[in-house]
Amino acid sequence: MTRLVSLCRASAIAAAALLAGCAAAPADRFYTLAGDSVAAPEAVAGAGAGRLYIEMAAVNVPAQVRRDQLLVGGADGRVDLLEHHRWAGPLADEIGNALSLGVTARLGAIDVYRTPHPDDVPVYRISTNVQRFESVPGGYALVDAVWSVRQVGGGAVLTCRSVLREEAGQGYEALVAGHRAALGRLAAAVAAGVRDLAAGRTAGC
C-alpha cells in the first residue's frame, strides 16, 4: 500500500510539474511594420489635377533576415533568433506594405502593382533592395536600402541609396518602432523621388 501511495504521489507531482511547464510557456507575439509612420497626403508638384499611380514591386531582403522570427544582434557580433517574437507576415512583405502605404499617403497616389489601371496615365515603378536590416535591442534599428524609381515605358530612372538609423529603447516594441520610423523616412525619400520624376526633374538623390 505504501508503495502504491508513493507511486501515486510521484505521478501527481510529475503531472503538476508538466502543467506548470505548459502554463509558463511564453505566448507568441506578432509585430507589423505598417502603421503610424504614414504621413498625411501632400500635393504633388507637376501632377496637376491628375492622380499619380505607382507600382511598389516586391522588396528584396537579405537571406539571414528572410524569416518569420525577429533576428536581433549585439555588440559582440552574436545574433539571436527570437522564436516567440515574430513578424505578422514575411519581412519582405511587411517592408513593402509599409513603403506602399507611406509613399501613397505622401503623394495621394494609388499603388496599382498587379492591378489593372488606365493605359493613358503614367505609372512609376519602385524597386527596393534592402542590403541591411539590423536590430539591436536597446541600441538601434537600421535599414540600408538601394531603391529606384522608373516611369513604366519611359527612359528616365532615379537610383538612390538610403541608410537610415533610428535609436531604439529597451524592449522589442521599441525596436520595431525604430524600424517603423526608419521606413517612414525611406518612404519620404522615395516619394520625393517619384515627385521629382513626375515634375521632369532627374538631377539625383
pTM, entire model: 0.82
pLDDT for 41 equals 54
CB contact at 8 A, 159 and 150: no
Look at residue 38 and tell me if it is in a domain.
yes
Look at residue 12 and tell me if it is in a domain.
no
**What does the angle CA 92 – CA 98 – CA 102 come to, to the nearest 5 degrees?**
145
CATH number assigned to the domain comprising residue 122 = 3.40.50.10610
pLDDT for 5 equals 41
Q: Nearest Cα to 204, choosing from 165, 152, 149, 130?
A: 149
pLDDT for 7 equals 42
pLDDT for 45 equals 43
Look at residue 203 and tell me if it is in a domain.
no
Domains contained in the chain, number:
1
Q: Nearest Cα to 85, choosing from 10, 44, 48, 30?
A: 30
The rounded average pLDDT for each run of 10 residues, N- to C-terminus, in the chain (205 residues) is 46 49 75 72 48 96 97 87 97 98 97 90 97 97 98 91 97 97 98 94 76
pLDDT for 4 equals 42
Domain of 172, in residue numbers: 32-198
In sequence order, the β-bridge partners of residue 110 are: 53
Look at residue 109 and tell me if it is in a domain.
yes
pLDDT for 202 equals 74
Look at residue 13 and tell me if it is in a domain.
no
